[in-house]
Amino acid sequence: MDALQAIVLGVVQGLTEFLPISSSAHLLIVPRLFGWSDPGAAFTAVIQLGTMLAVVIYFWRDITRIFWTWLRSLWTPELRGEMDARMGWYIGLGTIPLGLLGVVFKDAIEGPARNLWLNATVLIVFGLLLLLAEQVGRQRSAIESLTLRDGLIIGGFQALALMPGASRSGSTITGGLFLGFTREAAARYSFLLSIPAVVLSGLFEMRDIGAGGGPDLVPTLIATVVSFAVGYASIAWLLRYITRHSMMIFVTYRVFIGAFLLTLLSLGVITAQ
């Protein structure tokens, strides 16, 4: 992988990590369309650390408040009823489904699941699921009304993002909408919930960088830095956008891209693996 490819993939990661359109699918699709080699699951997981740094910096006040309130609540019973203390537990426990399934299905995720037939189909199906959630969800609840049950259910939706094409943010926002949360509340919790999952995944996969013909350290670092800068801007834009608009633009995009890929695959223009 050269520097230009690394920059392009960093931009793709930064743009698609927080939009509900699947960054992992796009990091698989873009190289295939340009005739580049597959960067691999390890590269995808590691450059997500750049976008996670963007989340940490954007929400650093919330994260700091949640962490210290949760930590103090361990020995101060009066704090255990506060939202920040409870949020710490919700984020931690909500990460467990993704972590367990990620370990169990690691080989499938890094191998057979990186098939474009599957990715294209999942893009469409989960796009329509997002549309359904948008239509049936009451969208009245603020993030302050989140309960442990809600946190675990949304964590279960996050685990669905192990399928490339599902979208981690798309899955968790879908879960939040089904539970009656506003689009902004669902997105905010989605961003916070992503931090431990993506950081742990990126650190775990870092050992495989440069192995098996994947990109070396330098292009991986370039892509990570670019994904941070673009990702930070994407967070700010998405939170502003969804306060005034529906998710329809993302649903339409997912269905179009999925159908486009299925057409290319059917015609033999691109290969599935």
CA distance 231 to 224: 10
Indicate whether 33 pLDDT > 60: yes
Q: pLDDT digits over 94-104, tens only? A: 998 888 887 77
The set of residues, in sequence order, having a beta carbon less than 8 Å from that of 264 and lying 6+ positions away, is 270
* 14 occurs within a structural domain: yes
pLDDT tens digits for range 91-140 = 999 998 888 887 777 777 767 777 889 899 999 999 999 999 999 988 88
C-beta neighbour count of 255 within 10 angstroms: 16
Structural domain includes residue 273? no
The mean pLDDT value of the chain amounts to 86
Angle at the Cα of 173 from the Cα atoms of 190 and 125, rounded to 5 degrees = 135
- Overall domain count for the chain: 1
Q: Is 125 exposed, middle or buried (0-12, 13-18, 19+ CB in 10 A)?
A: middle
Tell whether 184 is covered by a domain.
Answer: yes
Please report whether residue 252 resides in a domain: yes
Mean pLDDT, rounded, for 164-169: 86
d(CA 180, CA 157): 15
Percent of the chain predicted with pLDDT > 70: 93
In which domain, by residue range, is 183 found? 3-267
Classify residue 272: in a domain, yes or no.
Answer: no
